[in-house]
Structure 1
Amino acid sequence: MLSLARGLEVLRCFAEQRRPMTIAQASAQTGLSRASVRRCLYTLVQLGYAAQDGHHYVLRPKTLSLGYAFLSSNSLATHAQPLLDQLRDEIGESCSMGVIEEDELYYVARAEASRIMSISLRAGSRLPLYAASMGRVLMAGRPRAEQEAYLKRTPLVALTPHTECNPAALLGIFTRTAEQGYAIVDQELELGLRSIAVPVRGRDGIVAALNVGTQAARISTSELHVTFLPALRRLSQRLGGVLAG
């Protein structure tokens, strides 16, 4: 099934770049040879998942069915979306739910506030666990040995001057997050962005995380505690009840 794996890698690179791509660009992005990329794109075009425009390729709407298949079959994401929409309308800030997949934070539901300046995130977006509030909440629910193994195999890149990249310090953050039941990230993921996250607990522990993301110029860290933390915890309890039911 090597061909299937290569085809999925090519599809994934389009999601990361969010623009039309040439064979050379897709080859550089995936690490596959140009010949392999050409064969994958030819097949995707024939199946209706991609289209060719000169030297560039673009994805077609048919690819949406792949993502919607997950969203429609995942009961947690299905129940979370209207509740996230409601919370966004209540507090006027973007709200999200994420899970761990392949050592990354994957967004599985998002309700975005309408603002002139907003963060380009949506269901399917991926972020590094160590630098995101939801990622830290999710890692806090893992055993210490898993946390240490993750930090050893993950390149810890300083995304901003504030990003914590010291493994010992991050282990301490995971521990404090587990103790207090939430995580705050202050401009570590992106300058000007603050966020707060809480866990969603199922029968077997933490299964997802919820967060509110804000602009640092408008919202202080104290307001994250006072206003957004209680609202997130109420939403977490409602989703936990769905899982228990």
Structure 2
Amino acid sequence: MPVNARAPHFVRSFERGLAVIRAFDAEHPARTLSEVARACDLTRAAARRLLLTLADLGYVHSDGRLFRLTPRVLELGYAYLAGLDLPHLATPHLEQLTSLVGESAALCVLDGEAVVCVARVPARRMMAAAVAVGARFPARGTAVGRAMLAEPPGAGRAQEYVLLDGDPEDGVTSLAAPVRDRSGRAAAGVSLAVHSGRMSATTVRRDLLPRLRAAVAAIEADLRITDPAPGAPLGIATRR
């Protein structure tokens, strides 16, 4: 099938409507009609129809010039999160990990070439690194993504983690390890985010890695109980 070809069932207008929703993000919380049209490669007339339809459905609000998403769009993501077992299973362990190390902990899954945060416990500190549930990042650009993409090390499991030292731009050091199901597949990944000015990479590895490994082991133990058959669906996003 040609790259641009679509299956007979494909509804192009639905694809365009989703593209309009995705045109809004942290850097562009509000857009004009023209900006939405350019971002989605649509005509102004098509963009207007889609925006007004989303407004009628309660997903978009307009002040006459600027369009913004409304809180109702959270329903779309919540439907996915509500059906996941792993975030609910992992959250108590993330809470304990954050309590022990004083740093923000997150659980992520792979979605194609990206990682998506599906659970997070923030540190109780004003300067805690912030990653929202639902946030997406290029997998190979993150510690947790690299940890999940790494092949199972077999007998060398003790070294299975990824540490990305913070750079001057973001100032965050990330430590991550994969959560593997009983078949050895990386079902998810747990990461810790530490402001580089507070703790060196050496200290992160020495003091936080044992705690991270313990949390991952606890999650994996619970996962084995709820995953009786190797390779059985876990209700989480998987690598495509």
Q: TM-score, normalised by structure 1?
A: 0.78
Superposed, 1:172-211 pairs within 5 Å as 180-187=159-166, 190-204=169-183, 205-211=185-191
Match runs of 1:52-63 below 5 Å:
52-63=62-73
Q: Which amino acid aligns with 1:236?
A: V
**Alpha-carbon contact 2:129-2:195 (below 8 Å) kept:** no
Matched, 1:217 2:197: yes
Moved more, 186-195 or 208-217: 186-195
Distance in 2 (CA, whole Å) between partners of 1:192 and 1:74 is 32
1:140 aligns to 2:119 (yes or no): no
Residues 1:9 and 2:19 are matched in the alignment: yes
* Structure richer in helix, relative to its length: 1
Counterpart of 1:226 (choices 196, 206, 213) is 206
CA distance in 2, matches of 1:228, 1:37: 48
Cα gap change, 1:141 to 1:29, in 2 (>3 Å): farther
Matched, 1:235 2:209: no
Deviations 1:159-183 (A, max 9, x none): xxxxxxxxxxxxxxx9xx9882000
Distance in 2 (CA, whole Å) between partners of 1:31 and 1:116 is 40
Displacement of 1:90 in angstroms is 2.0
Partner SS, residue 204 of structure 2: helix
Alpha carbons of 1:133 and 1:52: their partners in 2 closer, same or farther (altered >3 Å)? same
Tell me: CA distance 1:178–1:37, structure 2 relative to 1, closer, same or farther (3 Å): farther
Question: Which range moves more in the overlay, 119-128 or 44-53?
Answer: 119-128
Give the counterpart of 1:102 among 109, 112, 122: 112
Secondary structure of 1:17's match? coil
In the alignment, the residues of structure 2 paired with residue 219 and residue 189 of structure 1 have an alpha-carbon distance, to the nearest angstrom, of 14
| Higher RCO by CA contacts (8 Å cutoff, separation 6 or greater) | 2
- Partner Cα separation in structure 1 for residue 108 and residue 87 of structure 2: 9
SS in 2 for 1:15: coil
Aligned to 2:57: 47
Long gaps (5+) in structure 2: 1-10, 226-240
Q: Find the counterpart in structure 2 of residue 145 from structure 1.
A: none
User: Aligned-pair distance for 1:189?
Assistant: 9.6
| CA-CA distance at 1:33 after TM superposition | 3.1
SS at match of 2:98: helix
Identity %: 33
Aligned partners of 2:168, 2:186: CA distance in 1, in Å? 22
Q: 1:190 to 1:81 in 2, by over 3 A?
A: farther
- Deviating above 4 A after TM superposition, structure 1's stretches of 4 or more consecutive aligned residues are none
The answer on whether the counterparts of 2:103 and 2:128 sit within 8 Å (CA) in structure 1 is no
Q: Would you say the 8 A contact 2:181–2:224 is kept in 1?
A: yes
- Give the distance between the partners of 1:49 and 1:189, measured in 2 at CA: 38
Consecutive unaligned residues in structure 1, runs of 5 or more:
143-173
Mark the structure with the bigger radius of gyration: 2
Structure 1 residues 207 and 110, CA gap change in structure 2 (3 angstroms): same
The number of aligned residues is 212
- Alpha-carbon RMSD across the aligned residues, in angstroms, is 2.3
The structure-2 alpha-carbon separation of the partners of 1:88 and 1:73, relative to structure 1 and needing over 3 Å to count, comes to same
**Alpha-carbon distance, 1:240 to partner:** 1.3
- 1:131 and 1:185 in contact (8 A); partners too: no
